[in-house]
Amino acid sequence: MANNRNKATRGEAVELSIQYYGIDGLPRDADEIPEIQITDINEDVVVASTSVGVVREGKGLYSYSYDVGLEVDTGLWTDSWDAEIDGAAVDSEFKFLVTGSFSSEAGEDEPLADTGTVSLGDEVSFDFSEAELVGLNILLKHLKSRLRSDGKKPSRDEYGAFILDGYGEMVMEECNVFSDEILACFLSAALSEFNMIPFFSSFTFSDEIIYKTFSHAVVEGALILSLSSQALVEKGRDFTISDGGISYQPPALGDFISSQYQTLMTSYRERLKFIKNSIRPNPTSFGTFTNLSSGAPAFVRLRHLRSRKII
């Protein structure tokens, strides 16, 4: 895939393009194919003025693909375009950044230490195992049944008209409040909170106890996160509609959702502490070994009775 002006990596191709407009502000083709000239950071001409290789991509849109050398200097290069539109000369000049993936000082094709394939803001994909997906899908179904956030709306064509099928019925399309990916993020955050509440644990979605015994606790945590997220959106929609002396004010869903999740939060946190304190799971790399019976009062009292101690 070709690079753009923001990043032209050495050893790869960079796509340079230009869009021309007429005096009416609309895209306009040049009278002839425009010419391009490329100079490097030292203002040395790398590509002499030529129209060979310039391709018309659309109405007034032209592009040129340039292969950046492996040992060229990095920095801001210049691409100059010359064209005529309706007999008037139009000269344009742009800059593009050449970055290095190879060391020009060493004279060898050695990767630089600071180069990589991951950039800030790249799309991150979930890496769940098949066993985790089974548990996650079960929790996802519970969460959707509580949120009731799935919906449908009539589909419209490019002109805004409703689309009808062969029987004259409207074609519907999904219009969900939350996508499955967002709900999976809420469930992951809820499970993380479940694990970090003392006593620390390391449950995953593949553990049967999570999507069976403790499913309500994890789903309620995700429900609270989804309500708090949607409350901010709904708060921005609280307004009054007035038309011809008639006013209509939609329900204040933002305040209602906010009060609901705040109420749920208090009881949820207390219940979560009771759950973790009751099971006292075996710590993973935290503290000393503890079994399920060590926190039971009867076992603690029995231990002291055996040692002839009064507690």
Number of compact structural domains in the chain? 2
Q: What is the C-alpha to C-alpha distance for residues 221 and 201, in angstroms, rounded to an integer?
A: 16
Please choose, from the candidates 212, 57, 221, the residue with its C-alpha nearest in 3D space to the C-alpha of residue 143: 221
Residues 43 and 146 grouped into a single domain: no
Residues 161 and 271 grouped into a single domain: yes
Q: What is the C-alpha to C-alpha distance for residues 263 and 231, in angstroms, rounded to an integer?
A: 14
- State which of 99, 116, 141 marks the end of a domain: 99
Its domain, for residue 240, covers 130-279
Residues 61 and 148 grouped into a single domain: no
Q: What is the C-alpha to C-alpha distance for residues 211 and 219, in angstroms, rounded to an integer?
A: 9
> Angle 253-279/180-196 helices, nearest 10 degrees?
40
Residues 58 and 135 grouped into a single domain: no
Residue 65 domain flag: yes
Residue 299 domain flag: no
Q: Give average pLDDT by consecutive 10-residue segment, the chain, 311 residues.
A: 77 89 84 93 91 90 90 90 90 88 47 61 84 94 90 84 87 89 93 89 91 93 90 79 82 82 88 86 50 54 61 50
- CATH code of the domain containing 24: 2.60.40.1930
Please choose, from the candidates 218, 210, 213, 219, the residue with its C-alpha nearest in 3D space to the C-alpha of residue 145: 219
Q: What is the C-alpha to C-alpha distance for residues 185 and 299, in angstroms, rounded to an integer?
A: 40
How confident is the model at residue 131, as a pLDDT?
92
Beta strand residue intervals within 61-193, DSSP E: 61-67, 75-85, 88-99, 152-154, 172-174
56 strand-pairing partners: 62
Residue 50 domain flag: yes
Residues 138 and 271 grouped into a single domain: yes
Please choose, from the candidates 77, 117, 70, the residue with its C-alpha nearest in 3D space to the C-alpha of residue 96: 77
Contact 218, 210 (CB under 8 A): yes
Q: What is the C-alpha to C-alpha distance for residues 169 and 162, in angstroms, rounded to an integer?
A: 10
Residue 251 domain flag: yes
Instruction: Dig out the tokens for 57 from the structure.
Output: 């991509």
Q: What is the C-alpha to C-alpha distance for residues 77 and 274, in angstroms, rounded to an integer?
A: 64
Residues 134 and 258 grouped into a single domain: yes
Residue 272 domain flag: yes
Residue 37 domain flag: yes
- State which of 46, 77, 99 marks the end of a domain: 99
Residue 137 domain flag: yes
Residues 93 and 137 grouped into a single domain: no
Average pLDDT, rounded, for the chain: 82
Residues 168 and 265 grouped into a single domain: yes
Sign of CA dihedral 287, 288, 293, 299: negative
Q: Are strands 152-154 and 45-50 parallel, antiparallel or unpaired?
A: unpaired
CA distances from 192 to 37, 200, 201, 230 (A): 56, 10, 9, 21
Q: What is the C-alpha to C-alpha distance for residues 100 and 3, in angstroms, rounded to an integer?
A: 13
Residues 89 and 156 grouped into a single domain: no
pTM metric for this prediction: 0.53
pLDDT tens per residue, range 105-121? 444 444 444 555 777 77
Residues 195 and 263 grouped into a single domain: yes
Residues 179 and 44 grouped into a single domain: no
Instruction: Name the residue with tokens 């209602």.
Output: 256
Residue 308 domain flag: no
Instruction: Name the residue with tokens 């990596």.
Output: 9
Residues 63 and 157 grouped into a single domain: no
pLDDT tens per residue, range 1-32? 567 788 888 888 899 999 988 887 788 899 99
